[in-house]
Amino acid sequence: MKLRFVTIVFLVAVAMIAGCPDKRAPKGPTGTVSGTVKYKGAPVTVGSVVFQNPTTKNGGAASLDSEGKFTISEPMEVGEYNVGFPPPFPPAPHEDAKPVASPLPSKYHLPEQGAVKFAIDKGENTADFNLD
């Protein structure tokens, strides 16, 4: 009896999930993006890059590597995106590490500020940002 109840609950849950489309899923042509981030000619090696569609608020994000490079391999809808470069998260209180500051001015931190824009086309895109 208990197994039958668990099975029914499981099947109902699967049916509910299958019947709810992901509103964040791309609805048209998509593209991926990779590139580099530089500030005053030097690679930005801390933090991340965030692409956000100003209408749908969908997008993608990736961490910056030691050369200022990033890759967002998840497909995003074709279109214009606001781009932000948030600083790294501070270390957890139990970690014995010092916070790392972003070299970028705060006007670049949030995509909602609209300081940087990039248009994603169908297929692979290269976005090299040279900020000043």
Coil/strand/helix, residue 5: helix
Task: Give the domain CATH number at 63.
Answer: 2.60.40.10
Provide the residue range defining the domain that includes 49.
Answer: 28-91+101-131
- What confidence tens digit (pLDDT) does each residue in 96-106 have? 888 888 999 99
pTM greater than 0.85:
no
Residue 119 lies in a domain: yes
Residue 80 lies in a domain: yes
Domain count of the fold of the chain: 1
Per the structure block, which two tokens stand in for 84? 């932000």
- What confidence tens digit (pLDDT) does each residue in 69-80 have? 999 999 999 999
End-to-end CA distance of the chain: 68
Per the structure block, which two tokens stand in for 49? 């890059």
Residue 82 lies in a domain: yes
As a whole number of angstroms, the distance between CA 75 and CA 29 comes to 9
Residue 52 lies in a domain: yes
Residue 62 lies in a domain: yes
How buried is residue 89: exposed, middle or buried, by Cβ count under 10 Å (0-12/13-18/19+)?
exposed
